[in-house]
Amino acid sequence: MDKRDGHLSSVVICLYDVRAALFFTGNNLQAFKMKHATNPSNDHYSLSIAGKPQFKVSLKRSLLNSQLNHCWYCGIQISEKTSQYDHIIPQDKGGGHEKENIVLCCKPCNSGKCNRSLDEFREHLRLRTSLLGGVITLKQLYALIELGVSLPINNEYFFYFEKI
């Protein structure tokens, strides 16, 4: 790179995005910084080189505060250390990294929800907390219900966020 008066005359910056890598030089970089300095859509995370979101600590603290330090789904006490991020609408079902789609939950709930929608997760928990939990699968449950078999399943299951 050329040096003029002790300053670099050309700087190439690579910003990684999920969709593409953008390269800026000179004045284009300044214009980009001015335009996107306070982008409200992603001010709570950045993307790693692999394109995965790296949520900021301030987001976790804000979510913990708004959730009163409870898991969004089951309601147990969680902390900064024990909480995990979860997408309410899973990414593979069209959910993004918007603040409104991110909650904190405990590890068992995050693992159990996996890529399920809220309704699918609710059905999973209804079955798991019933007498048939671990005995039959959701698919088997639906088939038995369709045949008219009466089963000892909780009629309702409420998430913690629905109770507060």
* Residue 144 maps to a domain: yes
* Residue 18 maps to a domain: no
* Closest to 85 measured CA to CA, from 68, 67, 66, 60: 60
Residue with tokens 């671990």: 134
Query: Cβ–Cβ contacts within 10 Å for residue 81, how many?
Result: 5
* Residue 21 maps to a domain: no
pLDDT of residue 129: 87
* Residue 78 maps to a domain: yes
* Residue 13 maps to a domain: no
For 2-151, strand residue ranges (E) read 3-4, 7-8, 13-16, 21-24, 45-47, 53-55, 84-87, 102-105
pLDDT of residue 52: 67
pLDDT of residue 5: 44
* Residue 5 maps to a domain: no
> Which residues in the chain show pLDDT less than 50?
1-40
* Residue 23 maps to a domain: no
Residue with tokens 């007498």: 131
* Residue 86 maps to a domain: yes
The residue range of the domain holding 57 is 38-163
Distances (CA, A) of 158 to 107, 128, 133, 155: 19, 14, 17, 10
Q: How many domains does the chain have?
A: 1
